[in-house]
Amino acid sequence: MIVWSGWGILVLVFVVAAFFGDVSLVSFVAGAMGHGTPDAPPLIARLVGFLPWIGAAAAAWFMGRKVNTKTEKVLIDPETNEPVTLRTGGGHSFFFIPMQYWAFIFLVIGVSVFIALAEPSAL
């Protein structure tokens, strides 16, 4: 079950795009360089594969900051002549985590994938 509110579902789009971008770039760069094994691509391929995770983190951060910015507008009720505060914005989350904070999770995932692809002897 996937739980989201508002535009929080975009987090899923960002993570899927980052995953496929990572796999595609690592495979392409490792193949173009002609060395490394499928289980342990060269360092430059792993570094290039980290870029989609940075992009997903940036997208989640800036989009989350934009859609979760709360604004208040004070209006006057014409019947009672009393001020009424109208609040808009906020509430865009994925699995109860606000959208912009997924940026940090994406970076942790990217670093984890980077380390997981290293040669066992390099660790």
**How does residue 2 score in pLDDT terms, banded at 50, 70 and 90?**
confident
63 closest CA partner among 10, 116, 115: 10
Continuous segment of H or E residues that includes residue 102:
helix 102-116
Average pLDDT over residues 70-99: 88
How many Cβ atoms are within 10 Å of 59's Cβ, its own excluded?
Answer: 20
What is the reported pLDDT for 123? 54
Alpha helices, DSSP H, located in 4-101: 10-33, 43-67
Condensed to tens digits (0 to 9), the pLDDT of residues 18-70 reads 999 999 998 888 888 776 666 678 888 889 999 999 999 999 999 999 999 98
Q: List 73's β-bridge partners, or say none.
A: 86
CA gap 71, 36 in Å, rounded: 52
> Pairing mode, if any, of strands 4-5 and 83-88?
unpaired
pTM over 0.85? The answer is no
